[in-house]
Amino acid sequence: MEIFQYDFMLRGLTGGVIVAFIAPIIGIFLVLKRYSLIADTLAHVSLLGVAVGLLLGFNPFLTAVGSSLLASWGVEKLRTGKRVYGETALALFLSGSLALAAVILSLYHNLNFNLFSYLFGSIVTVSFVDIIMISILALVILATVSFYFKDLIYVSFDEDLAQVSGVRVKFINMLLIMTASLAIALAIPIVGALLISALVVIPVVTALQLRKSFLQTIFYAEFFSIFSVISGIFLAYYLNLSTGGTIVLVTLGLFILVWIAKISKVSFFEKNS
């Protein structure tokens, strides 16, 4: 267990567990509302924030948070303005932010390994300051979701019924997207901007295959997410692999196993019925 002898591994595991705990809490609402593409869009916008931070000499983590929050506000304004369809607004921000990030990074001549750690994640570069900021943002997200939990469930399942029941649908939708932007930004040091949407979505989709109640689905999604992150970090360390890529491959592996088990169970009952 030499992995626990290194401070950077302990920081990586700590940050990874926090991210793994928060991601499904936001992901389940995004999946139920069919907002999965938003996670990918905000991740690319966060990459733009990282590029700005690297170019100007600011903390890339903070600029990633700021850019994703601003983009989440813009996406929701365009989507609710009825002038641009929801998916079109996402495409505008996704392609535009990625293009702008590429241009800004071309101006950053001292390109080094740090950029790739933000693209694909690297627990080696996670600092104590990053852990503090990740923990603070995680507490903000958890408090927000806990306070508006019932309204989020209402809006996720039926916006029209929620509107009739007195729920401020526009406010809750904006709150959800902005909270998702925080969750995605805090996960970048661990999983990377190009892979974070997988950690937000795949554990939730895997848990939904089990067809349990809402709270049970959250519990299973948490299990799949935390297991994926911890086992992914261990595998990446001992096999000398990319941390973010290994974590995502573990999540995909769990999804495939659950899907096969579900198909096999259905086939067994059909055969014996």
pLDDT at 206: 92
pLDDT at 85: 61
pTM: 0.83
- Report, as ranges of residue numbers, the positions in the chain whose pLDDT lies below 50: none
pLDDT at 19: 87
pLDDT at 180: 87
pLDDT at 251: 92
Domains of the chain: 2-263 (1.10.3470.10)
- How is residue 140 written in tokens? 């903000």
